[in-house]
Amino acid sequence: MTETLSSLYPWIKSLHVIAFVAWMAGLFYLPRLFVYHAEQARIGTDKAQMLETMERRLLRAIMNPAMIVTWLAGLTLVMTPGVVDWGSVWPWTKAAGVLTLTWFHMWCAGQRKALAAGDFSTSGRRYRIMNEVPTLLLILIVVSVIARPF
């Protein structure tokens, strides 16, 4: 098993990065759709139906599978001998960033359901602010893994 993981390392890492990029793209775009939905669309209108379809498809067809593949490939990398030095701080800051990113993903899924149900209690301004969360987490994760300053 150890030899197999080591020989597949570049492929698993490639899959991990590709899935992460797809996941991040969705996490950048979905809150922006929420801004438009909260500010310009009301339940039952054509615009609301279009945004609901876009939000649902983005979440279910792109973001959910990308998150799952990111997690599976990442956990496989963690199991590959010699990849992670758990005595360093960087794997823990990366893990904290990924867990927070997963929480944000789930928050977005809840917001999608709320907007589809006609709950417009969250403002467009709040969605704009929340849209910065994935960027900050992306910086934390990439710096933790590449620069390893911690």
Check residue 20 and give its pLDDT. 98
Contact at 8 Å (CB) between 73 and 12? yes
In the block, residue with structure tokens 């979905």 = 30
CB within 8 Å of 6: residues ≥ 6 apart: 80, 81, 82
Q: What is the pLDDT of residues 20-59, one digit of tens each?
A: 999 999 999 999 999 999 998 777 789 989 999 999 999 9
Q: Which domain holds residue 136?
A: 2-81+89-146
Dist CA 55 CA 64 (whole Å): 12
Helix (H, G, I), strand (E, B) or coil at 67: helix
Beta strands in 96-141 (DSSP E): none
Reported as half-sphere exposure (CB side, CA atoms, 13 A), residue 119 has a value of: 8
Whole-structure pTM value: 0.92
User: Of 33, 26, 37, 96, which is closest to residue 61 (Cα–Cα)?
Assistant: 26
DSSP state of 123: -
Check residue 95 and give its pLDDT. 97
Number of domains in the chain: 1
Q: What is the pLDDT of residues 93-108, one digit of tens each?
A: 999 999 999 999 999 9
Whether the CA torsion 123, 138, 94, 113 is positive or negative: it is positive
